[in-house]
Structure 1
Amino acid sequence: MGQILGGHHEERLIRDIFEKRRYSGLARPVENESDPLEVEFGLSLQQIVDVDEKNEMLHTNMWLKYDWKDYNLSWNKSDYGGVESIRLPSNKIWTPDILLYNTADEDIDSKYPVNVVVYSSGACNWIPLGIYISSCAIDIKWFPFDDQYCKMKFGSWTYDGSKINLTSKSDTIDIETYQKSGEWILLGVPAKRNIIKYECCPEEYIDITFTIHIRRRTLYYGFNLIIPCALISSLTLLTFLLPPDAGEKISLELLASPFPVMRCLGYFFLIVERMK
């Protein structure tokens, strides 16, 4: 019976918000129009899906975390059977238009549609998830011992700093549920809040930029490329240590001929070429 009554109160609350109050998700939810809306933003990295060296793109599985307060969505819990929170579709209420500035995805807003958790105080918690593709300048100068620094810049597309005060939840990214990559080691993801004035507009815009620092795992390339090439090359030097009339010298010279070395180098350059 308690569950039925709870469902009834929740349904009545939602009906009152949209029908009696005639809630609109078009307006920025502030009581004073001159005040900025406080929006906290953070990222939770789930997985580094792919690093596309050739096209210079980073594919990541991310959860985006938003927190703000919408005074139009607050209620008195005692009026609705003690209901503390409700779930509303994100397209039915106001949500911040935070986008990935350096996206390389054709579908810019490709987040999976998830509900917003709204509390009686008007506090809103929204955690959309999705695969994000961002542009990243790849430097393979020291391949396969290379580090990469990929930036992900998030900010409001239409609201300047006087309308939305965007702040970071933390000085780094959340990696509590991160699934380790087989090819890359995650070294750190610091976050930085920037206030920038663009040439197009007189207002100042706020963004949160995360720098994903990763290092390539060299074990695969070491066992399959570097060590074999080094051993074959060292055999060439050993042939000079053997006496001229040694029978093993001929077979060793055949084994350490330039052709295996050239094959190793050819394989290495082929890998590098595919990254360009």
Structure 2
Amino acid sequence: MSQKKVCFIGAGNMARSIISGLINSGYAPESITASNPSQPKLDALNKDFGIKVTNDNVGAAATADVIVLGVKPHLMQQVGEQLSGLDLSTKLIITIAAGVTAKRYSDFFKQEIKLIRTMPNTPTQIGVGLTGLFAGNDISADNKSLCESLMATGGEVIWVDKEDDLNQVIALAGSSPAYFFLFLESMVASAVKGGMPEASAREMAQQAALGAALMAKQNPDLSLAQLRENVTSKGGTTAQAVATFEEGNLRALVDNAMTNCIARAQEMAKQY
């Protein structure tokens, strides 16, 4: 991979996940800079990964080939105005913010920019993430390839043809680790209530989740319904648990959660 100079504006969990993926893939720490107002986050990144850190957004962006915008959506205009005095014509800008549409960034930066929207998830930190990518027609094949190579260090990448499809990526991948953690929390809590030590309950639940995910991934010819049925003996314990979920209308609850997730992304697009 070409060792382009990459700077991260913002040092939150998602930026940390991507930086971890880059470093674990062999990217040179000296080619990565993180800028953030909070010094403790910067100190942790420097200690853990050996990257450069600063509180100066403009200075970090000025020397970078690639600028990754990792701040919250409501801060994006402020960052854009900070960097608007720089000539950004030769730089690739990658945003990981949900809800802020591509056309808004040119307004924020007060110039035409080369921008790719991405939606990664936190498993990027350990190399098993998923990142959705969207680029307009004005983005060159070289810049698309550069963005893909950077984001692929944290796992799989999928390009979407329409910008609106990134909202589906948010619901399916960006936000979904939290859904699974909530489900695991609930399973562990039930087991603890039944008398099992929490550590043992967690180990069993997380290993079962890992195994189920790997079985789904390694058997693409089998539908998810078939995989479920393969575990569910008629009249057995699994059947009773699955019936309980169905009686509680789990499918509708999941659909409502994902629909509300997408709706929130659409609301944010109007806000910012």
Counting strand residues as a fraction of each chain, which structure ranks higher?
A: 1
Same fold, judged at TM 0.5 (above): no
Higher relative contact order (CA 8 A, sep 6+): 1
Counting helix residues as a fraction of each chain, which structure ranks higher?
A: 2
- TM-score of the pair, normalised by structure 1: 0.26
Q: Which has the larger radius of gyration?
A: 1
